[in-house]
Structure 1
């Protein structure tokens, strides 16, 4: 079954066919490290980490994954100046915070993670090629700026299907040096108000790169003139990705074959952002939510859909992942009695594969997961061990592919301290209720015993009686 993906440029779902047999290449626009990450920043990381895993597991492809770091831009310079810190130190501090956040939620490290400041020679080379081909020009005002001439490239607007007549002026530099107000900056000449360290020499004068040029040059450096997938957030489609594609194709490069864009994390219907004052910093969220639950939540909606945040969102994710973990722990004794300590080889369930191949329909894939968990629990309750083992095999394959295996050592390490503390506290409270219930049963006060069981049931706690006493799990 082919993998079908929604391509922004085609405005349609297309069969995925990699340029190189047996391999796939992905470029993801990463963070502009101007401030600490909020949970909205992590959504693209989780969404396209799932894509890479599925290309590997579901289609046997060797994936090269590039996620860049924008460590020089107007906002970084301005915020560093306000804080009285060197711009490069400010950027690196927040780059480390992003790395810690990605690591916490199990987003695998990319194959390459280039910084913009480490690839200025490649940017200058691409800029010179564009000038040579008549698609870019140095500003006539002596500012040192270099602009892309949008009217020189008839295909401008092909990615987002906009007409040049409808494009607003590019507000990335002083328009006085532009031939057309819609031309965008490839290079920004150095200014006396900016640190000397924030400029590099070029044939057009000292300066620093424009945002769009950075990504085109880094993608070319690590993935070649043409590659499979360019991914990023919905807000990057225009002007960033439109400009990337225009300058790269104007330079004669094939660039990306597919463009994938993830939806926003919203709060009250608005995109989560610092400017709106509605951001939730990852470091703060992880003080009361397990990293696994945060990953589950961020990946629970279809990647192209908006993901609305509410105070109950993360609690619901904790409950959902708790059900999966409870089943996997329940079935462990059965697996051990049959095959010792080794786990069965994962099998990709056909319904799960069908959902994933349908433009990464993770909600559909999660429905398969939870249906399988329910079937596995029913098999255990009915003593049908062979069916429970088959269900465990399917569940293991699903959670490992999605990166949400609750028994993975990643989640049981230091990163899961908050979740472990919550689980321990819950166990103490439930055990106290179970002891009270046992005492009521011993006293033949069955009404009181049933009342305790009903109370726990309303809280989502399932009580199972056995010869060894009562056991509990999240239902």
Structure 2
């Protein structure tokens, strides 16, 4: 599955600042310490509807991670998946009378177009689960000592996962509730433990299925990301990322699978999560239909203003979108562009240092944006006689805002 086109990234002068990032598993902010190549896996979309602002909020967070790492001189090996076969996709296709493959491909193409417009640096590998059925089946076979069969389905036994619960830190009651809410089946009769999770789903009538050593069927949700991450990044990669709704069960289960398959812990050195975006008082979600689609916003507004809406919020915060935020972002974009176009302003070296410091401090994008606001106002007030080229590069390279 193809990725999307990458924006040009210009190396900036001066001393960069190492990235400190919140690790959900450690429950604290700590410094990342990648080798020459920083490895990052971010969980991708289930393509049964268009990309909404909540998705963009998540992918912006990890776009910033990659930008800060690149500014620190690291190569970035970034992998992302697309869950292009799953229950929600099949249900939507049936409801609308579409072929599920065509629905998935159309929404994946729209996602790529949206990400390009928002100047998200693309992953090196963008992998659909339908492309790696054999790899997933092989990983399930590798986990066989920790699994059991139930009517042809293969389940992972959480009792055999000694680190289970360490990523989320959630209680048993919290995990049971979230399992039921987020695609699990804690009440299925015959399971050894309600929190055991599905690795391989045996073929059902009318559902897509593939031949494998496990019989005809398709992967469970969590195992696909584990298999793709292992194939492309290996165990002990630097960051596993996604929205905070993936902490449990998705990342918790994936961490146990990776540990069981390799013997290494942690499976990812950081588990980092973006907050949820709400609309009309509820989390933006496809199931509720309270969505603000990126494609619609960028059809009517400059995509850089949409990006600035996201940059105005800290990535870990839960926040609610209102149209006035887009109006504010358009005014900010106009301020920045007029300041750069003026050709003269204060020294941008101080701006660069401040933006670096703010982003390195757990991606404090609002602080970086405020620093650029201050520089832009001073430039328009006639302060300073320095060229504005460096300021434009700071916005472009570190914040991803093309002026």
Same topology, TM > 0.5: yes
Which of 60, 84, 91 is residue 73 of structure 2 equivalent to? 60
Which protein shows a greater Rg?
A: 1
Would you say the 8 A contact 1:348–1:398 is kept in 2? Answer: no
Structure of greater relative contact order (alpha carbons < 8 Å, 6+ residues apart)? 2
Q: Is 1:135 aligned to residue 134 of structure 2? A: no
Would you say the 8 A contact 1:346–1:397 is kept in 2? Answer: no
TM-score by length of 1: 0.76
Which of 33, 43, 50 is residue 36 of structure 1 equivalent to? 50
Other structure's SS at 2:398 match: helix
Would you say the 8 A contact 2:200–2:218 is kept in 1? Answer: yes
Instruction: Give me the whole-angstrom Cα distance separating, in 2, the residues matched to 1:204 and 1:362.
Output: 46
Would you say the 8 A contact 1:373–1:395 is kept in 2? Answer: no
Ranges in structure 2 where 5+ consecutive residues have no aligned partner: 1-16
Would you say the 8 A contact 1:347–1:394 is kept in 2? Answer: no
Other structure's SS at 2:240 match: strand
Which of 291, 308, 323 is residue 279 of structure 1 equivalent to? 291
Q: Is 1:291 aligned to residue 299 of structure 2? A: no
User: How big is the shift at 1:115?
Assistant: 0.6
User: How big is the shift at 1:84?
Assistant: 2.2
Change (3 A) 1:346 1:187: farther
Would you say the 8 A contact 1:229–1:258 is kept in 2? Answer: yes
Q: Is 1:159 aligned to residue 167 of structure 2? A: yes
- In the alignment, which residue of structure 2 is the partner of 1:223? 233
User: How big is the shift at 1:279?
Assistant: 0.8
Instruction: Give me the whole-angstrom Cα distance separating, in 2, the residues matched to 1:227 and 1:84.
Output: 41
Aligned residues: CA RMSD: 2.2
- In the alignment, which residue of structure 2 is the partner of 1:76? 89
Q: How does 1:114-153 map to 2 (within 5 A)?
A: 114-131=127-144, 134-139=145-150, 143-153=151-161
Of Structure 1 and Structure 2, the greater helix share is in 1
Which of 187, 193, 197 is residue 206 of structure 2 equivalent to? 193
Ranges in structure 1 where 5+ consecutive residues have no aligned partner: 335-343, 407-475
Other structure's SS at 2:251 match: helix
Instruction: Give me the whole-angstrom Cα distance separating, in 1, the residues matched to 2:348 and 2:173.
Output: 57
1:383-422 deviation per Cα after TM superposition (whole angstroms, max 9, x unaligned)? x42xx32x6524532443111021xxxxxxxxxxxxxxxx
Instruction: Give me the whole-angstrom Cα distance separating, in 2, the residues matched to 1:144 and 1:2.
Output: 49
Change (3 A) 1:402 1:166: closer
Change (3 A) 1:17 1:368: same
Q: Is 1:8 aligned to residue 19 of structure 2? A: no
Aligned pairs, how many? 380
Would you say the 8 A contact 2:80–2:126 is kept in 1? Answer: yes
Would you say the 8 A contact 2:147–2:157 is kept in 1? Answer: yes
**What stretches of structure 1 move > 6 A for 4+ residues in a row?**
344-348
Q: How does 1:19-418 map to 2 (within 5 A)?
A: 21-57=35-71, 59-131=72-144, 134-139=145-150, 143-164=151-172, 167-168=175-176, 170-171=179-180, 172-173=184-185, 175-194=188-207, 198-251=208-261, 252-254=263-265, 255-331=267-343, 349-379=352-382, 384-385=384-385, 388-389=386-387, 392-406=389-403
1:240-261 deviation per Cα after TM superposition (whole angstroms, max 9, x unaligned)? 1111111111222442100110
Would you say the 8 A contact 1:4–1:16 is kept in 2? Answer: yes
Instruction: Give me the whole-angstrom Cα distance separating, in 2, the residues matched to 1:374 and 1:302.
Output: 23
Instruction: Give me the whole-angstrom Cα distance separating, in 1, the residues matched to 2:204 and 2:312.
Output: 46
TM-score by length of 2: 0.89
User: How big is the shift at 1:64?
Assistant: 0.8
Would you say the 8 A contact 1:352–1:398 is kept in 2? Answer: no
Instruction: Give me the whole-angstrom Cα distance separating, in 2, the residues matched to 1:207 and 1:84.
Output: 23
User: How big is the shift at 1:165?
Assistant: 6.1
Change (3 A) 1:345 1:322: closer
